Amino acid sequence: AQKITQTQPGMFVQEKEAVTLDCTYDTSDPSYGLFWYKQPSSGEMIFLIYQGSYDQQNATEGRYSLNFQKARKSANLVISASQLGDSAMYFCAIHALRSNDYKLSFGAGTTVTVRA
């Protein structure tokens, strides 16, 4: 079984500044994948970035980067140069990388509000 913990229920960030969202995980699987999704008020879950447990380098995708610390079981998301459109709920999720078990386990999410 996998478990995700997101301890920050809400965060405020000034436009153009960077923000770090915390995510810690627990899993007994040796291979796993970590995902971050964005959920605006419209409700749709938007895929942002992926990190595999076997990846040697931290994932980056545009303004999103992942601070992956395997020994600490953390996968924090960094959003650089925040924009007003970044205001949303952000979810960290994990799945095991084994056959027929790709279901995602999500954390409770962190609400980000970007101030002008």
Chain residues that interact with another protein, rule: CB under 8 A: 4, 33, 35, 37, 42-47, 50, 52, 91, 93, 95, 97, 100-109
CA dihedral angle for residue 19, residue 79, residue 87, residue 37, rounded to 10 degrees: -120
| 62 contacts: CB under 8 Å, gap ≥ 6 | none
Nearer to another protein, 27 or 116 (CB): 27
Contact 21, 107 (CB under 8 A): no
Nearer to another protein, 8 or 105 (CB): 105
CA distance 97 to 33: 7
Query: Least distance from C-beta 42 to another protein, angstroms?
Result: 7
Nearer to another protein, 52 or 81 (CB): 52
CA distance 20 to 14: 13
Query: Least distance from C-beta 80 to another protein, angstroms?
Result: 22
What is the DSSP code (8-state) at residue 85? G
Nearer to another protein, 13 or 104 (CB): 104
Query: Least distance from C-beta 46 to another protein, angstroms?
Result: 8
